[in-house]
């Protein structure tokens, strides 16, 4: 697979262009589990090489409190010590899950993704 390097500025600018989606892209992982990615999330996963983040989000869907949440807000954020934190909220700032990540080469300092009805999307695609 060809490695695609994209600067944070170029990626941010490109992601701003996604409003709504024209297609849904099925992503399978973790056995029989699958979710749909909007065009913007599919683009992000490809260009930032972060299918691991999609898999991480999928890995929490077995938890009843998370699966029962109508709108999950997932935030990946770089910390001052260059570690990363991923957390999920219910959209009203109630933290449902949190995971620390020691290292990532994710190009942005932060990304927010929404998950609803088995679809992972950029907030601008809702």
Looking at the domain assignment, is residue 15 inside a domain?
A: no
Domain of 36 in residue numbering reads as: 24-125
Please state, in angstroms and rounded to a whole number, the distance separating the CA atoms of residues 95 and 75: 11
Looking at the domain assignment, is residue 108 inside a domain?
A: yes
Model-wide pTM > 0.85 = yes
Other C-beta atoms closer than 10 Å to the C-beta of 36 total: 17
CATH of the domain at 73: 3.10.450.150
Structure-block tokens of residue 118: 């088995």
Looking at the domain assignment, is residue 78 inside a domain?
A: yes
Looking at the domain assignment, is residue 114 inside a domain?
A: yes
Other C-beta atoms closer than 10 Å to the C-beta of 76 total: 22
Query: What total number of domains does the chain contain?
Result: 1
Q: Return the pLDDT at 2.
A: 46
Looking at the domain assignment, is residue 2 inside a domain?
A: no
User: In the predicted model, is pLDDT for residue 21 greater than 90?
Assistant: yes
- Per-residue pLDDT of 22-73, as tens digits, reads 999 999 876 667 899 999 999 999 999 999 999 999 999 999 999 999 999 9
Looking at the domain assignment, is residue 118 inside a domain?
A: yes
- Per-residue pLDDT of 62-109, as tens digits, reads 999 999 999 999 999 999 999 999 999 999 989 999 999 999 999 999
């Amino acid at each position: 697979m060809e490695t695609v390097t994209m600067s944070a500025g170029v990626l941010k600018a490109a992601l701003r262009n996604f409003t709504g989606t024209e297609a849904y892209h099925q992503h399978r992982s973790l056995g029989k589990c699958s979710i749909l990615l909007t065009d913007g999330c599919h683009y992000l996963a490809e260009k930032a090489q972060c299918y691991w983040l999609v898999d991480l989000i999928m890995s929490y869907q077995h938890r009843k409190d998370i699966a029962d949440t109508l709108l999950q807000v997932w935030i990946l954020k770089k910390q001052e010590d260059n570690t990363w934190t991923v957390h999920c909220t219910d959209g009203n700032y109630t933290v449902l899950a949190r995971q620390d990540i020691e290292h990532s080469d994710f190009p942005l300092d932060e990304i927010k993704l929404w998950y609803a009805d088995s679809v992972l999307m950029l907030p601008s695609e809702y």
